[in-house]
Amino acid sequence: MSPFPTDMIPNILCRLPVKTLLRFKCVSKPWGSLIDASHFVKSHLHQSLKTNNNVKLFLDNGAEIDDNAYAVDFDSLNNLVQFPRPFTAEITKYRSRIIGSYNGLLAVYHREEGIALWNPSTRKCHYLPALDEDISMDHDTIPGYNYDNSTILGFGYDKITEDYKVVKMLRSKTQNCFKVTIYSQKSNTWRRIKDCPYDIPINYNDGAYVNNAIHWVGDEILSGRNVIFGLHLNTEEYLEVPEGKRSSEDKKCGAYYCEGFSYMNVGVLGGCLCVSRDFSSCPIEDHVNIWVMKEYGVKESWTELLYLSRNQWVTNIFHTRAVGYARDGNKVLLDDGGGQQPAWFNLEDESSHLLCIPGAPQLVSIIIYVESLVSVS
């Protein structure tokens, strides 16, 4: 019998889940070195993204004091696992929240303890250094542990420099602006960049990473115009996303005039930028529309995906953000962003049902991540 060709081993191993690979590191020193090697980490990640395997749904308990996090396979919603969080939760302390996910890394924010980069698949965690005092002392903080409009956050990956970055905007006490700092994983340092030219009077979710930029909803400081804007992670320039049609050609609410809306949550759906429009001033019924930008930066590619009315929807519609498509593409998983019960929306018959996972908390915020071996530092 001919020996097994050793050049086939990496090709086989890169198709296995992270948990199995971590066990296989103990088989031999060569296997351990292979699995730790950066080229293998990239190959394994590429294989998972190409096949859409090893995709997990992270469940962030939003209603109870819970030191554990939970995850299930996104396609089947089975194989529930729980693991300790990077920051503990106490009744008298603030709870942490996930501010973004990319390539298997999650950025976790805790108002008192700071920010950490966390890989829940490898259970590794890196705590970011603190900001300089001259910036943090000028922060116009607002009491509370959840979202507020004085601390704006985002997490993404600079594909040009291959560097994971965290953006933190702090509303200044002394100036009418957000002071902006950006963290680089490669240098493990924070650096001050130019102030944000937009105000963010309402903040319901963290930044959405698409096309090498992190995006938020805000207002122009001078005109007050409601816009979707981004910060490019490589050039560190602010950009404005072109707006689509102000109204839908098919007004399901039945109103003759229904164009007065404000942007609420910006997110990522199927790799595309998406946004929810709040029509709480509609004369017929309160509702929200979710639009998707099929081709980034192209105004004409904005497409209306779904319509949610307050009377018909099963949870709080006005914090709603789209999380992901089901594998068949016929359903969209929606999260209210405030620790309520997520729900599926069927794009074909417009029915809905709540997400229920036995053994897991029901009132959760959710985020999708892919299992990977990517290092946190």
Q: Any idea of the CA torsion for 170, 339, 357, 104, to the nearest 10 degrees? A: 0
Mean pLDDT of 198-205: 81
* pLDDT for position 134: 59
Longest dimension (CA), the chain: 78
Which is more confidently placed, 21 or 65? 21
Q: Note the pLDDT tens digit of each residue in 284-307.
A: 677 788 899 999 999 999 999 988
Question: Taking all residues of the chain, what is their mean pLDDT, rounded to a whole number?
Answer: 86
Instruction: Reply yes or no on whether the pLDDT at 143 is more than 50.
Output: no
Q: Which amino acid is at 178?
A: F
* pLDDT for position 145: 45
Q: How far apart are alpha carbons 293 and 312 in whole angstroms?
A: 25
* pLDDT for position 97: 86
Mean pLDDT of 19-39: 92
* pLDDT for position 77: 93
User: 306: which DSSP letter?
Assistant: E
* pLDDT for position 321: 84
> Comparing 10-14, 107-111, 201-205, 312-316, which segment has the lowest mean pLDDT?
312-316
What phi and psi, each to the nearest 5 degrees, are found at residue 301? -85, -5
* pLDDT for position 7: 77
The residues that bridge with 217 in the sheet, in sequence order, are 228
* pLDDT for position 1: 47
* pLDDT for position 92: 46
Q: Note the pLDDT tens digit of each residue in 101-120.
A: 999 999 999 888 899 999 99
Mean pLDDT of 323-334: 92
Mean pLDDT of 329-354: 86
Mean pLDDT of 255-274: 77
Mean pLDDT of 214-239: 93
* CA triple 311-364-361, angle to 5 deg: 115
Mean pLDDT of 157-172: 95
With 0-12 CB in 10 A as exposed, 13-18 as middle and 19+ as buried, what is 49?
middle
Instruction: Reply yes or no on whether the pLDDT at 10 is more than 80.
Output: yes
